[in-house]
Amino acid sequence: MMRTRPLKVALLGCGVVGSEVARIMTTHAADLTARIGAPVELAGIAVRRPNRVREGVPAELVTTDATALVKRGDIDVVVEVIGGIEPARTLISTAFEHGASVVSANKALVAQDGAALHAAALERGVDLYYEAAVAGAIPLVRPLRESLAGDKVNRVLGIVNGTTNFILDRMDTSGAGYSEALDEATALGYAEADPTADVEGFDAAAKAAILAGIAFHTRVTLDDVHREGITEVTASDIASAKRMGCTVKLLAICERAEDGQSVTARVHPAMIPLSHPLASVREAYNAVFVEAEAAGRLMFYGPGAGGSPTASAVLGDLVAACRNRLGQTTGPGESAYTRLPVSPMGDVITRYHISLDVADKPGVLAQVATVFSEHGVSIDTVRQQGKDGEASLVVVTHRASDAALTATVEALRRLDTVRDVASIMRVEGE
């Protein structure tokens, strides 16, 4: 028998994502009622600028007093899509205190304070869901948290930021430089007016922290994630990747150590072979590989941002939270029982592509090779070219630790014959 009293939802934020959530809740009300087992009513929408025209959003629901909205006491679920740390953190905590479950798309907050938020939800017997915080419409949090709960995940590797993927894709396919590709991304609406969070890797790093914590059942915060952006990637790097049969992607990589005693989480540009499925992920799309012991390699692909895709993930969580509300239960909370430490970037083992500007004279290659050997870094291939007293060396290593490679580069810079270390890029996805 279907319950007749509606479940009440408070919406915090009514921008691109929030307005789409409100629209879907209105236009799909009958379907949502059938799927949940009770009507769902949008009880209030908190915004900062109430006079802005919001097509399809009932004006009588709009308020600027978000605190009063989440304190009402009759709210069953709060949907938070305002982003940032504050006031989102305080509003979510207040919602928990007044007995409401929370659905959030706030990657920065979950990556920074996920443990505290989970603890607060557990204490109050309510839910915290955040599928939309990681990869838009792509189901990723729920498969890791539920579908693979009986398996052992060893690696998560993927493209989790559409803006940077669009920029790198344009640099690869059109030969554009970084600035030119960024301008195109901005014009098309893929990049914000201030693209720092995307191009410097902060957005991807927050997502990596969330994914690593869930995948490895341990606590990983944004501060634990090694982060490099794409602002230093040049047309020359893209051309070098092509000569190797590779392309350049900004990757989020979360790994369990071979001995199982620690994990790593990192975000940085990397060359990947064209034969790897991630190499074919174009435009602003996202894709993530999950490698588990029993399930093997799984790939999740789709639009990672935008109003409609993100709203889809939010509504999926809303349905789950409402069903739990009706059943007087809660979904899975934080699982951090392994308490694995997060290893520093210096311990990470991978391959490297290094471009050196050197003097064009005999013995330079031997000097460079000696430096690599002295630091225990084995060379896979070397390509040399030069004229008029100047030359370049492109060295691709076998697998080595980041610490060993860093020491090698510092020693190379001390050589009189090395004019500059033009670029260093990791090679992944073998």
Q: With helix as H, strand as E and coil as C, how does the chain read?
A: CCCCCCEEEEEECCCHHHHHHHHHHHHCHHHHHHHHCCCEEEEEEECCCCCCCCCCCCHHHEECCHHHHHCCCCCCEEEECCCCCCCHHHHHHHHHHCCCEEEECCHHHHHHHHHHHHHHHHHHCCCEECCHHHHCCCCCHHHHHHHCCCCCEEEEEEECCHHHHHHHHHHHHHCCCHHHHHHHHHHCCCCCCCCHHHHCCHHHHHHHHHHHHHHHCCCCCHHHCEECCCCCCCHHHHHHHHHCCEEEEEEEEEEECCCCCCEEEEEEEEEEECCCHHHHCCCCEEEEEEEECCCEEEEEEEECCCHHHHHHHHHHHHHHHHHHHHHCCCCCCCCCCCCCCECCHHHCEEEEEEEEEEECCCCHHHHHHHHHHHCCCCEEEEEEEEECCEEEEEEEECCEEHHHHHHHHHHHHCCCCEEEEEEEEEECCC
What span, in angstroms and rounded, lies between the C-alpha atoms of 336 and 201? 25
Told to judge if 387 belongs to the known catalytic residues of this protein, a careful annotator would answer no
Q: Which residue has the tokens 């839910």?
A: 127
Contacts of 379 by beta carbon, 8 Å cutoff, 6+ apart: 369, 372, 395, 396, 397, 398
Active-site residue, from 8, 107, 207, 249: 207
Would strands 128-129 and 101-104 be described as parallel, antiparallel, or unpaired? parallel
Which residues are marked as active site? 207
